[in-house]
Amino acid sequence: MKIFRHLFLDDTKKGSSKGSINGAIDGNDFLDEALRRGKEKLMEDQQARIASAKIAPNTPSYRHFRLVAAADELANITRLGQLTNEITKYFIKERPGERENLTSISIADSSEFKEYCVHRDARADECAHLKYRTVDGYCNNIEHVREWGVAMRPFRRILPPDYCDGISQPRCGSRKVLPPARDVTLKLHRANYKSDHKFNFMFAVWGQFVDHDITSTAITRIIDGQLVSCCETSGIDDCFPVMLSQDDPFFLLYNTTCMEFVRSVAAPNCMLGPREQLNQVTSYLDGSVIYGSTTKLSKRLRSFSRGRLAVTYSADGKELLPISIDLSDGCNREEEANKGRYCFLAGDSRSNENLHLTTLHLIMLRQHNRIAGELAKVSPHWDDERLYQETKRIVTAQLQHVTYQELLEPLLGQEIMDRYNLTLLDEGFFTAYDENLDPTVANSFATAAFRFAHSLLPGLMRSYETTSPGSWMLLRKVLFNPFPLYSSGSLDRILQSAIKTDVQKTNRFFTTEVTQHLFEEPQNETSPKKCGLDLVSLNIQRGRDHGLPGYVKWLEHCGLPRPEQFKDLSGLIDEESLKAMKLLYESPDDVDLYSGALSEIPLKGSILGPTATCLIADQFKRIKLGDRFWYENANGPYPFTEGQLREIRKTTLAGIVCDNADNVTDIPKKLLLFSSTSNEEVECATLNKLSYEPWRES
């Protein structure tokens, strides 16, 4: 309060409350002017976007950005985020001496922000009657009702952002310049194919499924779904294209000097401060990837009959996901639509990004509908709403169980699982819920650490078109191609494709399928050559866009010594990687978190180095211990009974696939691990089946 009064002394001298930190800013001349200037800048930006060149439909960049662009219903929230950013920049320009007081200045009472900020500060008594999770995550933490873990809120910061201007300009390094992201890809993250025979491709796909449940960064878009071409436009603040060198293969083969990149939207806040980014989904592992994170979408996905989710049907009568008939969505193709085959609709907009991910969405939809049918048998008097909520609760518990038991344990190793309290119980209840632990997904986790799985992606996949063991296909063939699911018998072959393909080792190397050919269009003799995207460059650029501090600061955060020179990283990073880093970066301080973490030597028992392990383990600890509805929690608002928990603990991903595939009879018992002598295939009939008797209610 003293800070605010000091800044606006003229108002406080008059005895007005307008200078109070909790006062409405509309009455203050200076902040009135800041708000007016901010609105003018937003209007200028909007006009510039409308007048700009647009990305051509059905190009790799168009597909990518339609996949991650902010939803239309976020228009007001994204506008408030931009406005927060512009007010902050104006304040710093006019009052540079007060920069250190920035985050003490509230804009919550402004007429523009009041509804958003009051809505965020909802009272805990709103939550007293709730026994099921809400769609957007509110009321999970009753002290931070609409803030912690809630959809449409900023990511959490572990370390303060490192923006070039301290406010919003992308990170620029110790000498105000960083190597182009594409150069880092070509010189540090080149291809070097080494398979990891421990994991199959399903490991990477389930990791992606989980990632989409807890993170969805909103990317800037304009009206009517059109996307600005940052490579063809100048003067737009949210443009941050990846520039290419003249020796780049893209330049030499396609005469391309620029890769499209638009910044993530600024998240609104109720205080001034550096730019933050928006997570469109809940941070809880709550099945939002299946059920949606908005009321509008969750209703669209329901059938409102017998607790079931809505479906379409294949020609042979098998359940499929609902369809999306938007031909401009970056996935649908006119030639497929003419056959009555469309891309699918699911709880997450990225469900069609690759065929195997779409398949998991279908498996989990069928799992929901199958369990709803079982519950209707044991409690036939339950209405649609009760059946839907109870089924969703079970499926969410199974999602949590499989993720911690089958994904995290082999990923992090048992020692880390125990150290971070990630190990699941074999019996009894969990009592370590911590209402003071913020589960909100960290910006560094979403933007860098959990993107490690991109290095797992193989260049070649077992073909789903034939059962012949010697048949392979390029990874690009499964991207934005959900249409094979319409064909009879294809589901089982697609599953086998993922199960029978091993992944690449987790390291700094990436297949050219993701660094040269991502979302590439099919080529023919008459069409001009068009290059794909480089996922690694986009990841590095996104980290800079978000102001993620350099790799060295994350080493310190995770308890490792700060290196002064590159040679100080010897033993933590192999010598070949260090040599490449020294050629690219001026100083260890400049190394990007994504590149540094992937270059580390893995810890014993883990496939990751210490920095990625630290950031990933901490986030999943928060997701578990900070979730009041966690499936093992004895003190949740509506805990499972001991009998119900015993049944849920029988869940395996292998069992889920067996129950919901078309005709799978044999499967690796540990489905995310590559089949071997220690992980032999078993008959589906021998796997544990859940009994739904504990849910019988007279």
For residues 371 and 87, what is the distance between their CA atoms, to the nearest angstrom? 51
SS3 266: strand
Spatial separation of the C-alpha atoms in residues 671 and 354, rounded to whole Å: 19
**Residue 212 appears among annotated catalytic residues:** yes
Length of the chain: 698
What is the greatest pairwise CA distance in the chain?
A: 84
Orientation angle between helical segments 355-378 and 384-402, nearest 10 degrees: 130
Nearest Cα to Cα of residue 539 among 449, 408, 441:
449
Q: Could you please report the per-residue DSSP string of 527-578?
A: SPP---B-HHHHHHHHHHHTTPPPHHHHHHHTTPPPPSSGGGGBTTB-HHHH
Contact indicator for 623, 283 with CB cutoff of 8 Å: yes
CB 472 within 8 A of CB 461: yes
Distances (CA, A) of 109 to 10, 146, 273: 19, 18, 16
Point out the catalytic residue in the list 64, 144, 189, 212: 212
Q: Give the dihedral sign, CA 569/574/576/580.
A: negative
Cβ 79 vs Cβ 362: under 8 Å = no
Count of Cβ atoms closer than 10 Å to residue 10 Cβ: 12
Q: What angle do CA 373, 207, 437 make, to 5 degrees?
A: 90
Going by the DSSP 8-state scheme, the letter that residue 342 receives in this structure is: -
Query: Nearest Cα to 520, choosing from 37, 61, 3, 47?
Result: 61
CA nearest to 199, candidates 459, 413, 423, 501: 501
* Strand, helix or coil for residue 335: helix
181-188 vs 535-545: helix axis angle to the nearest 10? 130
Chain centroid to CA 412: how far?
19
- The one-letter amino acid code at 403 reads T
DSSP string, 381-397: T--HHHHHHHHHHHHHH
Q: How far apart are CA 234 and CA 214, in angstroms?
A: 34
Cα–Cα separations (whole angstroms), residue 275 to 161, 171, 266: 8, 12, 6
- What residues are labeled active site? 212
